[in-house]
Structures are given as structure tokens and as C-alpha cells.
Amino acid sequence: MEQAKKARITVGQERAEHLVSPFLFGHFIEDIDDHMPAMLAYPLRNMDFEEEDGNGDGVSGCWYPLGCGKHTRYALEPAARGHGGHSQKVRLFNKDRCAAGIGQAMEAAGGITYRLRLVVRATPEIRMLRIQLADRASGELLGSADLEVRSHRWETLEGSVRAWRDCAAAELQIWAEPLPAADWEDSVSTGQVWFDHISLLPEDHVALLKPQVFAMARELNAGMLRLGGNAISLYHWEDFVGPAALRPNYVSEAWEDAGQIHKYFGTDEFIALCRRLGVEPQICVNMGTGTAAEAADWVEYCNGGADTPLGAVRAANGHPEPHGVAYWELGNEMYGPWQAGVSTPERYAAQYVAFADAMKARDGSIRLLGCGTARDELAPGWNRTVLERAGAKMDYLTLHLYQGRNFFPIDARTPAPERFRAMVAFPEIARAVFDDIRALLDARAELRQVKLAVTEWNTMYFPNPDLPNAHTLEAAVANACLLNEMMRQGDLVQIANFSDLVNGWVGGCIRVGDGYERMKRPGWSGRGEVVFGTATYHLLRMYARRRPHRLVETDVRCGRFDAGQSALPLQLGDLQELDVVGAVTEPGDTLLLFVVNRALEAAPLSCDLAAWQPLGEATVRELAGPGCEARNTIDEPEAIREVVRTVQLDGARWEAVLPPHSVTVLEAFLEVRGPNSSNSGG
């Protein structure tokens, strides 16, 4: 059979003129579904009682009443001055002679101190709040703390509580302890307490993230982190800076039933996370419901000195030094009918120019990204019109690339082999999209400076709601193919942000809990805080940590396959089964070979590295599994992972058998002979 023939790769000495941008390995965060709750360390939801009373018990959202007093009353009230959303009132009656309060289910970590913060007021009958962590099933007390209430006016109380053991099915209980019954005026008197904010923050958080999530994100060597998505078209940044408790509560309007915007992660928190991760921040501005003046103010808030009006506001918020945000994206998918403020290309181009001029007036050094589209049928002629009218003021044109149903007629009924072959044709689809834009840029001298930024990319299978296909080995193989193509096109494609970083939309590469559907019930297994990586997480980590710097030529001889009929006018009937990129690292001490086996069968391989005179020992990194639909789960979180082994080269030849539907990276070590050496890596 053709697939059984030995594939051959010859690595040549010729180097590409362009460098591989570290920003190709960027990531993307968006306040959608459970992205923020899954990412951030806060174990509680609805911390400001912004949610309505959904079940008629008088208590906000996921909170619930506690106590046995039959006369206790619960109600949501407008919050007092300086506080947004509702306040939660609990009214106790003397004749019940018992405490009452509110609770919320959570997962408690043993041995971790939680910082407790409450904004509260009470009538004189309530002088003590008892905070307890308890096992919901057994009632066992896991930890407790007492806080004294001192005023009928709003005050902030702080303390700490610590559970002595882990408990996946715990609850936080806030009990209002009334004065002894004899101290109340009479038997019909009432004591009242109001809560405007209740939060816990574990002491081991890192930049507000769960420590496991932060550690996994840092391992990705991301280069860049994007803040954007559909929610940004309804996002007004000035509402999400300053003291978090004073920030308003926003219901997300970008997605149906998407819940609240997480007000505890605004601009300053985003920048702090980027700095801790060592990555470049990229901010997408609101062109849906926002204005050019608002965007310009955001630039000044981030980049202005403390002597500027908004730089002074930033300094007053605890950040005296400018954030120095260089990359600003103007609008998210403004061609899309699902987008707030959806636009025509002509209108968008005019808006872009107005926004660009206003933003550059505040900081002339910033780099601007204009909105493009990878699917012309969504807005015919969009890229041409936008580039002709506004491209001279752009540094980058953005694309969102989601391989699968956007480009192939596949659905849940498509036979698995047929679907696999379509999915792994990602580089050919991307190449066609890139080539179309390259032609537009090459046609006009004033556009020669414009590069491409793929600010969202991933696989997309069937219409959402979603099966976990985007987490499979098949998806990782397809995604590796796009990374290869973006490296090959690195003279044009210089930014790419994988979508998403954590949970959220179905493709998040870091998973917290085990739900896969949008608007899911979190933690179906009861282990909602288990953190693990998808197959694509391991792929992205494997690629980015190799730090490819400059591509080198490869000649590939291998079997062929037919990807099927695409929605694009492409001939996809004779594609190479191996998708290969060669590169050297910046020090010139390592030759890298990224090899994707796009076949459903194993591929015997012989690779000639003689042009680079490698040392005898090499490292092979492999991502493979028992089937292309294999995936990591909460029960088997490392079923698919990078496997590393040392191999001995046969002279300057690497002999291997590539597993089916796999990704392999070879690191062949070189002797560095100095700046003029043929192995110096450029």
C-alpha cells in the first residue's frame, strides 16, 4: 500500500529570510460563559448579589437561605450609595430565637487560607457574623471564623477562614447571630442584616488566577495574550478600573443567558497577569457601542504618564508607571451579524480612521490592528474595501480562522475518516486565505507595511452546542498543521492567538472541571476544580517551548490523500500526508523538525540531516494516541500528552515510524562554530 512506503525528508541549508515571531504562539481570553470563573481563583459566584431571585426564595442567584426560623424573611434590595447591583437582606425575628443566614455551594481546598471580605451593615440586634465552611453532605464543620458587625452603615469586614481538609461538595455559610432573646425589645422585634459583597480569595492565587491554571498558562510560553471577543463590543473599560467593589455590575449582552461580566478582572488585572506571565498584552477596543474618544482614553489610561489626566487616574488606582500596551485591535468581528454594532466595510473603514487618529494622538508609538475576515461570504468585499480605505493607517489586518464546518460540509453524521481528512487540511485552507490577502497588500504600495494577525484560531466542528471534538487528538493534529503554515508564512503572519485559554467557549485548551457545553452545569463529576490540558494544550506547549527562530528548507516525499470538497474553490485531492516545517533556534545550537502525520496509518520515515552535521544524540517529542478521537478527560487527564525520548541518529539520518494521526518534533543538536558558521542559525 502507498501508506506503507517509507516517507523521506531531506533538510537543506537554505534559510528563510523571515524570522518566526514569538507572537505566533499567543492566546486569547474572553469573558464568555465560565471562562472567567474557571480561570480566576475566586471559589464563589455572584459575589455582589447581582443576580435575580430565580426561584422565589428571596435570595440572589446561586445563594440560598440558611436557618430554621419559620418567620425569617429574605429580600433583594437596591444597594446603598457607592455599591452596584442588589444587596441581600436577611430579617430575623425574636420569636424564632435562632440564627439565620445565606449559603453557597463551593469546592474547598484543605490547608489553604481563604481571605474573607464582606461589605455589610446591620441593625443593633445583629452584632456577630459566623462564617463556616462545611461539608454539605455530612454537615461536618471544616473551618470557621467570627466577624463583629459594628455599624448600621456599610462597612468592610475582613478576616480569614481555613478548611482542614479538601471537600468537593462544601458550602460557605454566613450566619447572622442575634443578641440573646432577652436583650431584644419584645417578641416581635426584628434584627436585619444586609450583604452587598461576600468573597473568598485563596492565599495561593497568582495574579488572581488559580495557581494550577497560572502554572499551566506559563508553560505555554505564549508571547502574547489578547483581551477581546464579542463581549468587547459592549464593554466600556472605564467601568472596570479602580476599586473592584465600586465597579458596576454588567449583564453580558453578547451571548444569550451568558450571565454577568466578571468585574473583578479589568484592565489593570489583565496587565498584571500579562506581566506575571511575561507576555505582551494585546487589547481589542469597543467599536460596537464605544466611541473613538473612549478608545483614546483607554490608550491614555494604559500608556500616559502620571502627569496626563487619565495616567493620573491609573496612578491613583495603584499603578504609577505606564502599562505600555503596544498592540491595539480596533473592533472584534465587526462584519458579523452576531456582533453588537455590526458594520458595512465602508462604515467600518471610516470608523477605523477616526479611532486610529484619536488613539495615535494619545500615543503615536502604538501598533494598530484592523478588522479583516477569513470568510468573504460573511461580508463580500470586506477586506478589499477596508484595506483600500483604511489600510494605510494599519500595522496588521486581523483574521479569525476556525477550521471545520466553516470550510467543509461536515457534521456529526460525517464518517470519521472523511471528517479527519477535512480537518487536517487546515494549512491548505489557511494558505488560500493568506494568499488572497497577500495579493491585496501587494497590489498597493501604501499597504506593503501591513502584516496579518490571526487573533482567533482553532478547530470548529458542528454548530454549537458542542461535542468535545475540539479537545481531541484530531483537533490537535489539525491545529499543528496551522501552526506549521503560519510559520511558513511568517513574513506575513506575525501574530496568532489560540481561542480560548481556559474553558469558556468549547475550545479552551486548559480545562477546569469536566463540562464541555456552552451554558453548562459546571463540574458534572462533582470535581469542578480539577485542572488539566487538552491534546491541543500539549501541542501548543510542545511547539512554543522549542522557540523556532528561522525556517530552513525541507524536501518531503510521502504518501498523498484527498481532503474532499471544500467551500473554497480549491483542489484538495492530492495533499501530502506529512506536513513538515524545519527551523533552527536563535543560538543556532538546535535544528528543529515539526512533522505532522495527517494519515490514519503509521508512516515509516527516513530523514536526511547531513546538511547540518548534527551531533549523534537527538530528542524526539511525540503527541499521539490510540485513535484520532481520543481526548483527555477529568478521569484520564493525561491520556494524550507529550512523550519525550532520546534517540541516536544513524550518522546524520533519523529513522522513525510516525504513529498515525500524530505530531512529532525532532530536536537535533548542532555544534555551534561561531557567527560565520554554516550552523549558526542566522
Least confident of 453-462, 497-506, 510-519, 562-571: 510-519
pLDDT tens, position by position, 652-668: 999 999 999 999 999 99
State the number of CA atoms in the 13 A half-sphere of 335 facing the CB: 22
Mean of the per-residue pLDDT values of the chain: 92
pLDDT tens, position by position, 173-205: 999 988 876 666 665 567 899 999 999 999 999
Least confident of 216-230, 320-334, 664-678: 664-678
Whole-model pTM?
0.94
Strands 367-371 and 327-330: parallel
Rounded Cα gap, residues 157 and 159, in angstroms: 7
pLDDT tens, position by position, 213-223: 999 999 999 99
Say whether 636 sits in a helix, a strand or coil: coil
Residue 7: its pLDDT value, please?
96
Rounded Cα gap, residues 482 and 20, in angstroms: 14
Residue 681: its pLDDT value, please?
36
Bigger pLDDT: 86 vs 676: 86
Residue 180: its pLDDT value, please?
78
Reported as a pLDDT band with limits 50, 70 and 90, residue 673 is low
Reported as a pLDDT band with limits 50, 70 and 90, residue 246 is confident
What count of other Cβ atoms lies within 10 Å of the Cβ of residue 280? 19
Indicate if the pLDDT at residue 140 is higher than 70. yes
Residue 3: its pLDDT value, please?
46
Residue 1: its pLDDT value, please?
38
**CB burial readout 188-223, b (16+ within 10 A) else e:** ebbbbbbbbbbbbbbeebbbbbbebbbebbebbbbb
Rounded Cα gap, residues 321 and 400, in angstroms: 33
Q: Could you tell me how far CA 620 lies from the centroid of its own chain? A: 29
